[in-house]
Amino acid sequence: MPIETLLLGAVFVATMSFTPGPANLSLLSVGASLGLSRALPYLFGVWLGGLFVITAGALGLGALLMTLPEVFFALKLMGFAYICWLAWRLARAGFGGPSHEVAPSFWAGVALHPVNPKAYVQTVMVFTAFIVPDISYAPQALALVAVSMVLMMMATSLWGMGGNAIRLFVRDQRVMRGIAIAASAFMVVSVAAALAV
């Protein structure tokens, strides 16, 4: 794979990975409520769920879903409903609220990416737009999986650390609630945008 193509793919993945989405915003919330160190199992679960979606994209599941519009639409609707439920919990609790006295579980983290339509749209784009047809697929796919994983892990960690910073420096509960509501709204909007694709 030409280095220029890999770099372009990395820029695309970074743009998608570092922007607000369900995983990033939920880690912001958990970091702000509990501190990232208490939410490490949840973070590791998010990474494993992300690895599942990225690997599935590399193996063609995302492209297959795009060829089955009814199935993909049903997945989008189920994922959107789950994300709306997560956003509702975040908005109701506010940062530091009672629903985040216990960190979300490892398995809650694992479940997050596989129900996120944005994750599938991203992987379909990565494994179609940045694969060079005249070169063996497997090494290119492995390189893109590695880049996607590293950037996803960096992004989710940084959003969790951002939540940690909010917890340490913002003491006004009204401000915390306002940030939680805004994060919830962004979560729903980011997934709603993926529904339109």
Using the Cα atoms of residue 27, residue 29, residue 32 and residue 38 in order, give the sign of their dihedral: negative
Tell which residue, 32, 189, 26, has the closest CA to residue 111: 26
How many structural domains comprise the chain? 1
Query: pTM for the whole thing?
Result: 0.79
Chunked mean pLDDT (size 10), the chain, 197 residues = 87 87 84 84 95 91 72 75 75 56 83 82 83 87 95 95 85 74 75 65
pLDDT given at position 178: 77
Strand, helix or coil at 1?
coil
Q: Give the range of the structural domain holding residue 108, as residue numbers without chain letter.
A: 3-195
Q: Can you tell me the distance from the alpha carbon of 123 to that of 197, in angstroms, rounded to the nearest whole number?
A: 13
pLDDT given at position 93: 61
